[in-house]
Chains A and B, each alone.
Chain A
Amino acid sequence: MTRNPQNGLLGRIDGDVAGILLLAALLVVVLPLGLDIFRLNMVGKYLTYAFVALGLVLCWGSAGILSLGQGIFFGIGGYCMAMFLKLEASSPEATKIQSTPGIPDFMDWNQLTALPWFWEPFHSLTFSIVAVVAVPALLAFIVGLAMFKRRVGGVYFAIITQAFAAILTILIVGQQGYTGGINGITDLRTLKGWDIRTDEAKLVLYFVNAALLIGCILLCLYVRRSKLGRILVALRDKEDRVRFSGYDVANFKIFVFCFAAALSAVGGAMFTLQVGFMSPSFVGIVPSIEMVIYCAVGGRLSLLGAVYGTLLVNWAKTMLSESFPELWLFAMGALFIGVVMVFPNGLAGLYQQYIAPRLRRPTVGRTTIPAAAPIIPPHTAAD
Chain B
Amino acid sequence: MANNTDYLLAVEGLTVSFDGFKAVNDLSFYVDSNEIHVIIGPNGAGKTTVLDLICGRTKASGGSIKFRNKELTAMKEHQIVTAGVGRKFQNPSIYDDLTVFENLEISYPRGRSVFGALAFKRDAAVRERVAEIAEMIFLSDHLDQRAEYLSHGQKQWLEIGMLLIQDPELLMLDEPVAGMSVNERKKTAELLNRIIQNRSVLVIEHDMKFVEDIAHRVTVLHQGKILSEGSMERVKNDPKVVEVYLGH
The answer to whether B117 touches A244 (Cβ under 8 A) is: no
The answer to whether A227 touches B105 (Cβ under 8 A) is: yes
The answer to whether B76 touches A248 (Cβ under 8 A) is: yes
Q: Is B7 an interface residue (CB 8 A)?
A: no
Among A6, A241, A242, the one with the most B-chain Cβ atoms within 10 Å of its Cβ is A241
Interface residues of A in 1-39 (CB under 8 A from B): 3, 5-6, 8
Q: Is B93 an interface residue (CB 8 A)?
A: yes
Q: Is B137 an interface residue (CB 8 A)?
A: no
The answer to whether A8 touches B144 (Cβ under 8 A) is: yes
The answer to whether A6 touches B98 (Cβ under 8 A) is: no
The answer to whether A246 touches B82 (Cβ under 8 A) is: yes
Interface residues of A in 28-82 (CB under 8 A from B): none
Among A5, A230, A238, A249, the residue within 8 A (CB) of B94 is A238
Known: A227-B106, A243-B77, A251-B113. A5 touches B98 (CB 8 A): yes
- List, in ascending order, chain A residues with CB within 8 A of B55's CB: 244
Q: Is A247 an interface residue (CB 8 A)?
A: yes
- List, in ascending order, chain A residues with CB within 8 A of B87's CB: 244
Q: Is A231 an interface residue (CB 8 A)?
A: yes
Q: Is A331 an interface residue (CB 8 A)?
A: no
The answer to whether B94 touches A231 (Cβ under 8 A) is: no
Map CB proximity to A onto B136-148 as digits: 1 under 8 Å, 0 otherwise: 0000000011101
The answer to whether B109 touches A230 (Cβ under 8 A) is: no
Interface residues of B in 105-163 (CB under 8 A from A): 105-107, 109, 111-114, 117-120, 122, 144-146, 148, 162
Q: Is A226 an interface residue (CB 8 A)?
A: yes
Q: Is B64 an interface residue (CB 8 A)?
A: no
Known: A238-B94, A244-B55, A246-B166. A226 touches B109 (CB 8 A): no
Among B94, B118, B145, B148, the one with the most A-chain Cβ atoms within 10 Å of its Cβ is B118
The answer to whether B77 touches A231 (Cβ under 8 A) is: no
Please report the C-alpha to C-alpha distance between residue A255 and residue B118 in the assembled complex, in whole angstroms: 11
Q: Is A328 an interface residue (CB 8 A)?
A: no
The answer to whether A380 touches B78 (Cβ under 8 A) is: no
Known: A244-B55, A245-B81, A245-B166. A230 touches B146 (CB 8 A): no
Among A223, A230, A247, A252, the residue within 8 A (CB) of B98 is A230
User: Which chain B residue shows the least CB distance to A242?
Assistant: B106
Please report the C-alpha to C-alpha distance between residue A231 and residue B87 in the assembled complex, in whole angstroms: 18
Please report the C-alpha to C-alpha distance between residue A223 and residue B117 in the assembled complex, in whole angstroms: 10
The answer to whether B106 touches A234 (Cβ under 8 A) is: yes
The answer to whether A255 touches B112 (Cβ under 8 A) is: no
Q: Is B97 an interface residue (CB 8 A)?
A: yes
Interface residues of B in 209-223 (CB under 8 A from A): none
Known: A237-B97, A238-B94. A230 touches B105 (CB 8 A): yes
Main SS of chain B's interface residues? mixed
Among A241, A245, A249, A255, the one with the most B-chain Cβ atoms within 10 Å of its Cβ is A245
Known: A5-B146, A246-B109. A237 touches B114 (CB 8 A): no
Q: How far is the CB of A266 from chain B (nearest CB, A)?
A: 19
Q: Is B96 an interface residue (CB 8 A)?
A: yes
Known: A226-B120, A228-B117, A246-B82. A241 touches B105 (CB 8 A): no
Among B81, B82, B97, B118, the one with the most A-chain Cβ atoms within 10 Å of its Cβ is B97
The answer to whether A227 touches B117 (Cβ under 8 A) is: yes
- List, in ascending order, chain B residues with CB within 8 A of A377's CB: 148
The answer to whether B98 touches A233 (Cβ under 8 A) is: yes
- List, in ascending order, chain B residues with CB within 8 A of A380's CB: 96-97, 148
Q: Is B245 an interface residue (CB 8 A)?
A: no
- List, in ascending order, chain B residues with CB within 8 A of A241's CB: 89, 93-95
- List, in ascending order, chain A residues with CB within 8 A of B96's CB: 237-238, 380
Q: Is B186 an interface residue (CB 8 A)?
A: no
User: Which chain B residue shows the least CB distance to A248?
Assistant: B78
Q: How far is the CB of A224 from chain B (nearest CB, A)?
A: 11
Please report the C-alpha to C-alpha distance between residue A78 and residue B118 in the assembled complex, in whole angstroms: 28
Q: Is B229 an interface residue (CB 8 A)?
A: no
- List, in ascending order, chain A residues with CB within 8 A of B34's CB: none
The answer to whether A246 touches B81 (Cβ under 8 A) is: yes
Q: Is B102 an interface residue (CB 8 A)?
A: yes
Please report the C-alpha to C-alpha distance between residue A236 and residue B96 in the assembled complex, in whole angstroms: 10
Please report the C-alpha to C-alpha distance between residue A226 and residue B81 in the assembled complex, in whole angstroms: 22
Q: Is A240 an interface residue (CB 8 A)?
A: yes
Among A3, A5, A251, A380, the one with the most B-chain Cβ atoms within 10 Å of its Cβ is A5
Map CB proximity to B onto A205-239 as digits: 1 under 8 Å, 0 otherwise: 00000000000000000010011101101101110
A227-B117, A243-B78, A380-B96 known; 19 new pairs, CB 8 Å cut-off, are A5-B146, A6-B146, A8-B144, A226-B117, A228-B118, A228-B120, A230-B102, A230-B105, A231-B117, A233-B97, A237-B95, A238-B93, A244-B78, A244-B81, A244-B86, A246-B166, A247-B78, A247-B112, A247-B117
CB-defined A-B contacts under 8 Å, sample of 15: A6-B144, A8-B144, A227-B106, A234-B98, A237-B96, A241-B93, A244-B55, A244-B78, A244-B86, A244-B87, A246-B107, A246-B166, A247-B78, A247-B117, A249-B78
